[in-house]
Structures are given as C-alpha cells and as structure tokens.
Amino acid sequence: MPPLPVEVALRAALQAGAAVHGTTSPNPPVGAAILSADGQLVGVGGTQPAGGPHAEVMALRAAGDQARGGMAVVTLEPCNHTGRTGPCSQALVEAGVAYVRYLHSDPNAAASGGADYLRAHGVDVQQLPDEAPDLAPWLAAVRMSRPHVTLKFAQTLDGFTAAEDGSSQWITGEEARRHVHADRRRRDAIIIGTGTAVADNPSLTARLDDGLTHQPRRVIIGTRDLQRPGFEQYPGITQALAALWETGARDILVEGGASLASSFLEAGVVDAVQAYLAPTLLGDGRGVLARAVGPTLADAIAFDLDNVIRLGDDVLLEMTRRD
Ligand code: AOF
Ligand code: ZN
C-alpha cells in the first residue's frame, strides 16, 4: 500500500475545525478527515453545535464505505464516552477504520480514553506532534475550569487607546477593524466594563457580510445597573467567569476599557493578548491600563510573542501569558 497522505488529511481536518470555530462551545471546534485505503480524501467534517454529531461522525458519514481499511485524521483524540452523542472511538471501529492519527489529547477526563479503546480494537493509533494552536483556548479552558481570556486593545505607537477628549473610534484602519469583527465571531463572549458601555455604547456585534450568523454573547462587568437589552451583566470578574463557564463559554474576549483591563490583569486571568498597533502618535491621551502594575520595570507583566500580523498599515501582535 502507498504511504497515506497524512499531511493532506491533517490540513483538511484543521480547515474543517477552523470553519466551525465559534459555533461549538462548550465543545471544542474539532475537524476530522478520512482517507480511503488507497489514500484518497473521502470525507471531511467538523463538530456540530453542542448536542449534534462530533467531527469524526460527520467525516465518516461523508466517507461511507470508503472509510473501511482507511485512516481517520482528527484534531482531538476521539471521544470514548456517551455524552450528548455516542463515542467516536466506537463509530470509527464500526466503520472499519484501520489507522487513526490525532493532534491533541482530550483533557476532559469524562471523554478521554479513545486512543486506548481504538488500540484495544486493533486500530493503529498515533498522536501527531501537537504544535497547532487550533484548540488552544478550549484546551486551556478545560484545564483551568474557567473560560480562556484574551485581552484585546488598539493603541497608537505611544500606547494610547483614546485621545484626551476620549475619541477612540478610529485608531486603527479598515483592515484591522475587519479582522476584529472576524475574530469576535470565533469567541463565545465579548466583555466590556460599565464605563465603556456608557461612554461608547458599543454594539459589540461581529459585523461581516458573509451570511454567517454566529454572534458572541455580550457581557458587561460592573456594579452600576445598566439594564442593557441583549447584554448580560455581572458585578465582578469572578462572578462573570464562573457564570460564563457554567453556561458553556470557553473562549472569551475582553475589550476594555482601561479599568476593566487592569482588573483582569490584577486578577491574574489574562491568558492571551491581542494588541492592534496603529502607526500614529498622540503625545497624550488615555492609556491601555488604568493603573500601574508596580513601581519598577521588574513588575512589568511579560508575554510571549506568538504572531505578528500586518493588517493594512496596522500591526496585530498576538501574545500569550508567560508563566
Ligand atoms: C470528539 N470529536 O468533534 C468533539 C469532541 O457531550 P458530547 O457527547 O458532545 O461530548 C463532548 C466532549 O467530547 C467534549 O467535552 C470533548 O471532550 C469531546 N469533544 N470529541 O471525539 C469532536 N467535539
Ligand atoms: Zn466524539
């Protein structure tokens, strides 16, 4: 038999996972691809909204009989439990799949064990090097038992998010704003403080004219009672994170303002940062944070730089917390 094109199937599986990102919580956005015994890509699928079929089942349905003797490439270890759906491990065995390759181990104790089950049923199982960041927020959230938090802000070169008069609407250009909207759609919730809710009255919707409808939950944190229809409100960070976790949110975005951003950092719950940098200078204005994190440079909160993305004339820096 010729070597199976695992790379081709992995790329298809990652794409299928990316396509359902933002629609699956509390489940992860998994992708799966099936190669027939002679190496053809015969089925691709992504996790359906919670309660619906998992990625493997979608891909097996597309592959039909051609899965027999073939290979399944999945971005997460196939589940081994009956939750809202049946075990994917069993579905793969029943379909006659001979090889399984998966990226990430499932940290959810209730669902893990699929690799062992498959091996016990004669399937050749291997974990692939799991460097891909596709499921990073979900994996981190499950390990921490709270939503993964990304802090997002846009700033001038000299670190201001708004001018002295508070005007902040158009710090970055069109491409960066489009990127923000695409990114919001992948999140489960977008969070702002009461100050920002009052000052900017933002809609926080993911505006893109591509026909897709997923909108993240819109959350305000603060004690001032705002009664905004369409927004959930919690008095503090702890309550918000607990309630969001309980109701299925795994990947959330904090959009400011400066006071809320400071509080999230002080609470030690900022896992990732997205900093949009505009090539402009203001000289003075409102900073990203509301308070100093400490008196000296040694107190600075450090991040690891993961990505530098050019968006028109702006730059997006993506970072994760340095442990
Ligand atoms: C997979 N393939 O596509 C996904 C998996 O309640 P259930 O039955 O939907 O199971 C949810 C758990 O299954 C979830 O917490 C995670 O551990 C795993 N997700 N597993 O084999 C998939 N989305
Ligand atoms: Zn499953």
Per-position DSSP letters for 76-92, written without gaps between them: EPPP-S-SSS--HHHHH
Q: Are residues 99 and 23 in the same domain?
A: yes
Judge whether 56 counts as a catalytic residue. Answer: yes
Q: Are residues 200 and 82 in the same domain?
A: no
Q: In the listed set 136, 155, 179, which residue is the last one of a domain according to the structure?
A: 136
Q: Are residues 59 and 207 in the same domain?
A: no
- Give the type of residue at 180: V
Decide: helix, strand or coil at residue 170. Answer: coil
1 part of a folded domain = no
The tally of domains found in the chain comes to: 2
Lining ligand 1 with CB less than 6 A are 27-28, 30, 47, 54-56, 76, 78-79, 83-85, 88, 106, 108, 111
Predicted pLDDT of residue 237? 98
Q: Are residues 196 and 116 in the same domain?
A: no
Q: Consult the annotation and say whether 79 binds a ligand.
A: yes
Q: Are residues 28 and 48 in the same domain?
A: yes
Q: Of 83, 102, 84, 103, nearest to 92 (Cα)?
A: 102
- Give the type of residue at 24: T
Q: Are residues 43 and 178 in the same domain?
A: no
* Spans of the chain below 70 pLDDT: 1-2, 166, 168-169, 206-213
The residue to mutate among 74, 77, 79, having the most atoms of ligand 1 within 8 angstroms of its beta carbon, is 79
Predicted pLDDT of residue 212? 53
Catalytic residue from among 56, 77, 164, 246: 56
Parent domain of 274: 146-321
122 CA → ligand 1 middle, Å: 22
141 part of a folded domain = no
Predicted pLDDT of residue 196? 85
- E strands present in the chain: 31-35, 41-46, 71-76, 99-104, 124-127, 148-155, 160-162, 189-193, 217-221, 231-234, 251-254, 272-277, 286-287, 303-311, 314-321
Predicted pLDDT of residue 227? 84
Q: Are residues 236 and 217 in the same domain?
A: yes
